[in-house]
């Protein structure tokens, strides 16, 4: 088996000995830890074990777990068959590390570099597919079947060693480290401190990813630690950032920003989800026909065909025509029976039925037991004429006012990679777009989001923007400056801004009553 295929099959990136030593040196000389027991749960060829034995001068026992017997042989040879070393040829996902606790004295370091993969692309050595974060409802249906293996391993270790005063240090994606920090707080697990030490994954592993060493000291007596210091491995004496966990959400506390934190007075929605793009997503031809993702020219009614905004289209503050993509929308609300379409659009109904097998192959459990050709992310809000939307993927949030200038009967839909607020009033939508793009609100967004995340902007992040706080602090002149910054013609008026304020006040009164 080649090195590349090993990486793909096991999801592993063996840690260079020099870098493993650098991490161990940080733990000993900067954090003052000198463990007597080393545990590496996915030890591979044993570079972290070797570095631990060199750096720490108090080690009397080393325990390693590794499923690959070839790696075990290399590990033993690399460590000169040290008699302190015990390697277990076993599957970590079914191995209970708590059996080691009877030999520990709260001076144990669990260290390593777990597989950097999700269970959907790791072909071998999979844990049982469980809802390990105890997600509820739709989140569980859409998220539990695909999770990060590295995150699972770290959370399993925390669960097995919680209530002790031992240390865990794992290499992982930075997004995984933040998720771990959030889960520690969510489950109120005692921690003395938690640190994220970032490094260049391209330099160390030859991969493009935001990566770090997550270092946390568990505690048997302290309450959960709600702040996490961030460092760079090459500038370890300077705190780069401090992340705070409050009410289950993370924020940067070093950057002084305006307090716009709260609960959004309007509801952020995610776009439509259908998991059948080659059938459902179309391009319109000059003769009125459509071309689908299979490059088939189809002749169907316009009745259920709507302009579609995908994440990559959010490039202008106002988008109102010349849409390139279209989508068939089969429902007005989730789980609505779809047979009504047959009477209103016979050719569309036939087209969908001709491609019925494609819908039946959809794997997500959200479609189980749902009507034929079902979608999700649909509701009355989907059919609002005006939307203020944002891409979930872009590193900088540009909020766009989106509508269909040429056809009020067919409002613009977003796909499930974007988020939006729905409005029936054009002026309110316009002012809201300016407000969200204003510099002070943008600075606040930067403080509560993370550019290295797969989706820096999610519904959870956007829901933290209190529009009420924004309109109370952002002046009309600031919105006019935002117009100029966005290269828009002067349009906003005092009366338009007041309309948005009035709408927010109505919402506030309804919440208080």
Judge whether 149 and 115 are in contact, CB under 8 Å: yes
Structure tokens, 136: 């509820």
How many degrees, rounded to 5, is the angle at CA 98 between CA 95 and CA 102? Answer: 135
Judge whether 192 and 161 are in contact, CB under 8 Å: no
Output the CA–CA distances (angstroms, integers) from residue 474 to 317, 439, 501, in the order listed.
Answer: 19, 10, 11
Residue in 234, 232, 227 with CA at minimum distance from that of residue 254 = 227
Q: Per this entry, what is the length of the chain?
A: 513
For the domain spanning 3-252, the CATH number is 3.40.50.150
Structure tokens, 18: 């020099």
pLDDT recorded at residue 124: 45
Structure tokens, 199: 């490094």
Distance in angstroms (rounded) separating the CA atoms of residues 408 and 422: 14
What region does 305 belong to: left with phi over 0, alpha with psi -120 to 50, or beta? beta
The phi and psi torsions of 95 (rounded to 5 degrees) equal -95, 135
pLDDT recorded at residue 153: 92
Judge whether 388 and 399 are in contact, CB under 8 Å: yes
Could you list the pLDDT tens digit for every one of the 513 residues in the chain?
A: 334 444 444 456 789 999 999 999 999 999 999 999 999 999 989 999 999 999 999 999 999 999 988 999 999 988 888 889 999 999 888 888 888 876 666 799 999 999 887 655 554 455 554 444 544 444 444 444 456 889 999 999 999 999 899 999 999 999 899 999 999 988 889 999 999 999 999 999 988 888 999 999 999 887 767 899 999 999 999 999 899 888 777 888 776 678 898 889 999 999 999 999 999 999 999 999 999 999 999 999 999 999 999 998 999 999 998 898 999 999 999 899 999 999 999 999 999 999 999 999 998 888 888 999 999 999 999 999 999 999 988 888 999 999 999 899 999 999 999 999 999 999 999 999 999 999 999 999 988 888 878 888 899 899 999 999 999 999 999 999 999 999 999 999 999 999 999 999 887 776 665
Distance in angstroms (rounded) separating the CA atoms of residues 79 and 73: 10
pLDDT recorded at residue 247: 76
pLDDT recorded at residue 9: 43
> Is residue 433 exposed (0-12), middle (13-18) or buried (19+ Cβ within 10 Å)?
buried
pLDDT recorded at residue 132: 43
For the chain, residues classed under CATH 3.40.50.150 are 3-252
């Amino acid at each position: 088996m080649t090195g590349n295929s090993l990486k793909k099959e096991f999801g592993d990136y063996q840690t260079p000995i020099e870098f493993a030593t650098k991490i161990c040196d940080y733990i000993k000389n900067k954090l003052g830890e000198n463990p007597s027991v080393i545990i590496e749960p996915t030890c591979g060829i044993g570079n972290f074990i070797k570095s631990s034995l060199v750096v720490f001068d108090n080690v009397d026992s080393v325990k390693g777990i590794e499923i690959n017997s070839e790696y075990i042989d290399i590990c033993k040879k690399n460590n000169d068959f040290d008699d302190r070393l015990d390697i277990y040829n076993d599957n970590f996902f079914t191995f209970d590390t708590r059996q080691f606790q009877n030999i520990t004295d709260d001076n144990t370091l669990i260290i390593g570099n777990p597989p950097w993969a999700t269970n959907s692309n790791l072909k071998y050595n999979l844990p049982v597919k469980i809802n390990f974060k105890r997600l509820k409802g739709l989140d569980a249906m859409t998220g539990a079947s695909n999770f990060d293996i590295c995150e699972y391993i770290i959370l399993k270790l925390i669960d097995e060693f919680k209530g002790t005063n031992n240390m865990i240090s794992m290499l992982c994606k930075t997004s995984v480290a933040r998720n771990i920090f959030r889960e520690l707080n969510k489950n109120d697990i005692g921690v003395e401190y938690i640190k994220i030490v970032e490094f260049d994954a391209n330099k160390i592993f030859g991969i493009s990813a935001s990566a770090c060493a997550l270092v946390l000291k568990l505690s048997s007596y302290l309450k959960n630690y709600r702040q996490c210091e961030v460092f760079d491995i090459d500038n370890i004496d300077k705190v780069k950032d401090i992340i705070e966990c409050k009410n289950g959400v993370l924020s940067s506390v070093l950057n002084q920003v305006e307090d716009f934190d709260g609960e959004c007075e309007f509801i952020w929605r995610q776009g439509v989800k259908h998991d059948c793009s080659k059938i459902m997503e179309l391009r319109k031809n000059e003769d009125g026909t459509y071309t689908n993702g299979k490059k088939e020219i189809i002749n169907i009614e316009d009745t259920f065909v709507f302009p579609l905004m995908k994440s990559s289209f959010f490039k202008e503050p106002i988008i109102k025509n010349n849409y390139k993509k279209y989508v068939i929308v089969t429902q007005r609300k989730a789980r609505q029976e779809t047979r009504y379409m047959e009477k209103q659009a016979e050719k569309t109904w036939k087209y969908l039925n001709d491609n019925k097998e494609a819908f039946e192959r959809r794997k997500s459990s959200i479609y189980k037991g749902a009507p034929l050709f079902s979608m999700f992310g649909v509701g009355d809000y989907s059919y609002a004429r005006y939307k203020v939307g944002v891409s979930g993927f872009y590193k900088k949030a540009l909020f766009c006012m989106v509508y269909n200038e040429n056809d009020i009967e067919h409002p613009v839909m977003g796909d499930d990679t974007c988020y939006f607020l729905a409005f029936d009033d054009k002026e309110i939508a316009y002012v809201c777009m300016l407000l969200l793009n204003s510099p002070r609100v943008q600075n606040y967004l930067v403080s509560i989001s993370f550019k290295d995340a797969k989706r820096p902007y999610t519904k959870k992040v956007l829901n933290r923007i209190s529009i009420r706080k924004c309109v109370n602090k952002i002046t009309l002149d600031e919105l006019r400056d935002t117009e100029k910054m966005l290269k828009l013609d002067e349009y906003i008026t005092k009366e338009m801004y007041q309309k948005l304020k009035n709408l927010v006040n109505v919402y506030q009164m309804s919440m208080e009553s």
